[in-house]
A and B are shown apart, each in its own frame.
Chain A
Amino acid sequence: MATIASPMEKGQAPSAVRTRSTVEAADIKAGRLMMLPALVIPIFLAMVFFYGFYLTLRNRRLNRGDLGFVGLDNYVKLVQDDKFWHSLSLTLKFTLVDVALELVLATLLALALSQPLRGVRIYRALLIIPLMTPPVVGALVWKVLYRSGNGGFFNWILWTLGFPMQGFIGDPQQAIQSLIVIDVWLFLPFVAIILLAGLQTLPQEQIDAAQIDGASNWRLFWQIKLPYLIPFYIVAMFFRVIDSLNVFDTIYGTTKGGPGDATRVLAINGYETAFPFYNISYGGATFVALWLLCTVAGSLLYVWVKRSQQD
């Protein structure tokens, strides 16, 4: 049985017996001790993160070494950089379209898979295949399909049917849409299995009662299923929004930000600046900006997840 529940809401049972409090104090101490080993590496990484922030306050070049402390110069440069604003708006658009498409399509998929169909188990098993594919390999797989000329699969179909062939990832006008298709293909099943898990716990009595009242499937969806699924949507959004803001692999595996700057999202922009162009401090500043964006979005969604689970 699937339920949505957060550990937080369970609350501590008030210790009724006095003598238990000493046991509890010992438990708390032991608990903290057990946390320690797992905390060592994250604490170290948190320090690494601060060192990374410090690096953005200097002018460090991979090819020329450390050129001194520059304060907030890299950030001032960032807000004046057209490339940064371009990649920020591209990232936001990518995330919005990507997540919206996934939510809508996953709803349809989950509704279909929640029906008592024959062979539904096979469908559900097939569902996770793209999900287990490394995004960078998924991107390569699509690169094969998107190949230009009538040697490429999609273009061959268009050519055979007498339509003009398209550039797909090679065309600045189509590149970002073509990449969204790849990302939706990779992660639509992720959203779908979450919603499916939700639908499977929907109390059957509610559906039966509505059906006896003569509710159509349409009304059944809008008035019973959808409201019930809201917490599941929020969980799915939490992961998908963050991962879409950070998208890198799918784009690096296909267009590397091109053609031109057509698919230069924030992560690609920061990577290009930091590594191929050696400006590790300025690239780092881009990622601090992205981190800020993800942390704000992530925290808001986290609070939303918690609140929706308490209802």
Chain B
Amino acid sequence: MKITLFIPCFVDLMYPQVGVAMVRILETLGHTVVCPEGPACCGQPAFNTGYWEQSREVAIPVLESLKGAEVVVIASGSCGAMLKVFYPDLFAGTRYEAMARDLAPKCFEFSAFLVNKLGVTDLGARFPHKVTFHDGCHGLRELKNKRPPRELLAHVRAIELVEMDAAETCCGFGGTFSAKFPMISTAMGEVKCASALDTRAEYIVSCDSSCLMQIQGLLDRQRKPIKTIHLAEVLVHR
């Protein structure tokens, strides 16, 4: 099928390898991948801050570029939730409402797409390391995405997955929250890091690069020995 890949702003700028990995995986599975040039951001920052009009200015081009898409795969849980769950709210009462409602069922976060839509769980990956998984809040609670990442990891050869106690606890990123309330954000991140370190895993895996940015940022500053990696990067590993 023809897959329209939506790459969030931070994946584009800072974690391109995540997007590249996704393209490779989807193409290896025999699908065509297209990536619209225009939209760079789903509009969540303005939306979460309460500036819905300004958010719409960013989101309308997204809607328009995705209009004819057969299926849209989004490279993060939080942007996935924005397109799938929040666009209908954002555009409610505007002339784009119908478009937003039409888009929602076509949207999938990457791991949910593989498992739920394509029915694929084994990508022949090999990752000989001990890992733990961080559930990004949007992916977990808005998209109900608990199982797909774990099903995918279960088929990675030589991997050892250990769940951390605080797997479902927010990492503290929360978009602009991390800058508006940096000390609370940091405390939350510290709780997350401590829980991950308790598992003695070498890697923290997640479907959300924004969460990993927060976690890695803290780990680097505090010089902790655990690394972060996106699920897609694990899945292309041989």
Instruction: Say whether A associates with B.
Output: no
Instruction: Please report B residues at the A interface, Cβ cutoff 8 Å.
Output: none
Instruction: Please report A residues at the B interface, Cβ cutoff 8 Å.
Output: none
